[in-house]
Amino acid sequence: MKIISYNVNGIRAAIRKGFLNWLVSEDPDIICLQEIKALKEQLDLTLFDQAGYPYHYWFSAQKKGYSGVAILSKIKPIHVEYGTGIESMDYEGRNIRIDFKDFSVMSLYLPSGTNLDRLQHKLEYMDMFQDYINSLRSSFDNLIIAGDYNICHRAIDIHDPIRNKNVSGFLPVEREWMQNFIDSGFIDSFRYFSNAPHSYSWWSYRANSRANNKGWRIDYIMVTNSVKNHLKNSEILNNIFHSDHCPISVELNI
């Protein structure tokens, strides 16, 4: 089974840039999308059926053209959970989960901390999300949380750790939260297979950052420790250009 996570920075813009042709070619079993920036009603849903994904689920922000997550699947889930039930988290459409008999897949879009107010919101969100996951794991053993975490975990995950040490996304408090999240029972699937430096998933549109590979690794597919023996491979697909992010993938023997 192959699962992909992709912050598309606007699903309609990504489609105009060839997203659907790439999706058919890449052929994942499940793809988790973030920052779709669209309501379900604004999309031609038959396009996803035609691409081979008859099961597609959308959880948009209440604010138009902002945030939002989705999951497209070739396999019919037994349950779909829209949001977390926590209003301050769900207002911006940042979490959706599909459940199968033996595992669950979540698409997550953590907030960014672009200013002091948003940073405070992000930190509160992170704490609430950890509590939510701790509670969820009492019912779900094999959990895959794929998405844009908006945090670089280690210095190896950012092109300039010295100059960015006081920038949201690489703040000590954010990095500590990420480590604690992993220590609570998760595996960073990409780092499970590779400690390669200069492996990034997001690049600023400014200063020719992507061409110069001045990026950040802020997209992750985290899996619970119980999934460890099922891990087969994990990659960053940095040659895909529909967004300022690139897709990431994990393959599992499930």
- What's the DSSP call for residue 210? T
What integer is the mean pLDDT of 237-253?
A: 98
The DSSP letter of residue 239 is T
pLDDT digits (tens, 9 = 90+) for 89-130: 999 999 999 999 999 999 999 999 999 999 999 999 999 999
Task: Determine contact, residues 78/99, Cβ cutoff 8 Å.
Answer: yes
CATH code of residue 57: 3.60.10.10
Burial class (CB in 10 A: 0-12, 13-18, 19+), 140: middle
Q: How many domains does the chain have?
A: 1
pLDDT at residue 144, as a whole number: 98
Pair 148, 108: CB distance under 8 Å? yes
Residue 83, pLDDT above cutoff 90: yes
Structure tokens, 245: 């992010």
CB atoms within 10 A of CB 112: 16
Would you call 64 exposed, middle or buried from its count of C-beta atoms within 10 A (0-12, 13-18, 19+)? exposed
Is the pLDDT assigned to residue 241 strictly greater than 90? yes
Domain that holds residue 38: 2-252
Secondary structure of 17-54 in HEC code, one letter for each residue: CCHHHHHHHHCCCEEEEECCCCCHHHCCCHHHHHCCCC
Strands 2-7 and 30-34: parallel
pLDDT at 31: 99
Query: Catalytic amino acids?
Result: 148
pLDDT tens profile 175-200: 999 999 999 999 999 999 999 999 99
